[in-house]
Structure 1
């Protein structure tokens, strides 16, 4: 892959991408730029990542190398906004890499030690706070946050997901050798394991929090369960209902546009897959409390959740991140400790746990490669080169998180009311 191809700068519409079109020009940004480049080179040396200025490089470029086309713009963005600036600089085409996942994986492995401790303590002062508008304190705000991601268009997600339209970590026989043709069956295996842990069978009254595109509800109904599934995405609601109807399971599956806080009734079991990440730190007690209220005593609950280290969660819970700004507004990844603590307070007893981190890395690898083949017709209305770079960075950034063990994803099973 040639240098010229990698450093082609996108055309930026400043009405759509105001923060990408404008490089920070404040005194703070200018003053931070030299320190930023020094810290980058320190981190890159520890991570065994090459940092090259584009004008100094020619010919074929391979491997974990950062090619920086505009060092001053890059340094000002990162110096002003940290990892938000790193992502925005990539979106602006100010840096690139022939191995983006490799670079981000290696940097993630040293991120907690590359910045000196005194500077890390200034994180909450220097970096932007989480805007109140993104806090899902009301059902309306939560629906708005979900819509910004999941309502891009069903066609867009269909462009890089497999035929099951499942947008969460799969469970492969061997994640290291998994290929595209293995993905659909691996998603089915993941879903079936969750349904097994929740004890879902014939006659089970099952609650699903977070419908996605309906695959879990379909597989549960095929077992004979009666499913109530809730979502906050209008696009997913229509697509999931259509898929349920096509499977001939309309009488067994009820999908509604409902906030988890507004659900009524009592169920034998509940399943929720990678939905807690959108709940928000302040609302985790409510989330687990509602699960405990909605499932009968002795009933089973199965969750799949992306987690991060507890100390990093505490450090970042009040910090605005690139993922929050551009991909998932209003959310926060919990730690395993937070999941277990809130579950215990709600009266939920852990019966099973399993990590799927290597499986998520493989899932994201397959999505990312498929995304590179998505045609213009499948992109959301108004999508441009900056949008494509944003999604490339998001998928690579996420994959790197799991490959570096900075992130984990776990399946948890709980019994309501403690051990029997």
Structure 2
């Protein structure tokens, strides 16, 4: 019976194997089940690794946001490196010892004059950095309206004059478009060149009251041409440390390239009254103006002052040897920053012009006092472009009534582009 049972069970096993071999569908089912189990196992491994990667990302972001003084101790960083190395055996990832994305500390910059709205060629703005080129188109408008009394007569008593008395009203408009270029030779030294184009228009109404003229004589004249070329250089003399103000030396030279007033023809309308046929666009002589500017920062304001002397060279003209009067000037004021992009300034300028001479003889009435109230505004339109607007209001009889100046300096950095 034992042999019968053995034979029975043995016969069934062989029968089952023969059945599987004869039925390939059953083999595919078993193979699919095994592959499905392996897939589930790999999926669980990938999910666990994804969770570990998210944890490591959070730790790296936390370390990057921390300051150097608040970084975790070295032991914790080493533990993190160990965890990363264990989860990624093929490539070891090292956690940086310094904050990610933070630029290294830069060397302290040299003290530079603070930037204030430009009020004149010697006051305002900031020195151009080394390797920077500033292109500055500008437009200036000036208006003058005054009444003059021309007396060509002999006075016997304060109320009695024999000769020509000419009452004249003059309205003068001036437009000056200019293009300037400034280049920073060093951080303390810059050079500037300016080329202006001038348009002037005068309207004069005159009446010679001493000869019985019944009607006013009205005469209009204009002139347009290139103006006098200007060359300027500025140098920062000190660093301003130790509580001292920053001193900047300036030198402005003018070349007489415009139409000289000695080249203008005059015509006579009424007896003794002459008018120019055209208006000059230049001075007719060389001039040199050294000056020194002092800037004292007092956050958020900047106090400034300027002292200048203008030397006007002699020139030989058809009227003889002309010696234009020299001039001394003084200006002062304060600039104030409204925010990171805009600022304004308020100041006063006064210039005294000494008497001129022709062939060694003093020209009476040529001594002038020119005073102006100065208001300036600056706006940083882009990181490389500023808009400067300044207004001058005449405070003396010899000064222009209104002087409006719009500048648009644009900076080009050639030094950084070279590297």
| TM-score normalised over the length of structure 2 | 0.24
| TM-score normalised over the length of structure 1 | 0.24
The higher relative CO (CA closer than 8 Å, separation ≥ 6) is in: 1
Q: Which is greater in Rg?
A: 2
Task: Looking at secondary structure, tell me which structure has more strand per residue.
Answer: 2
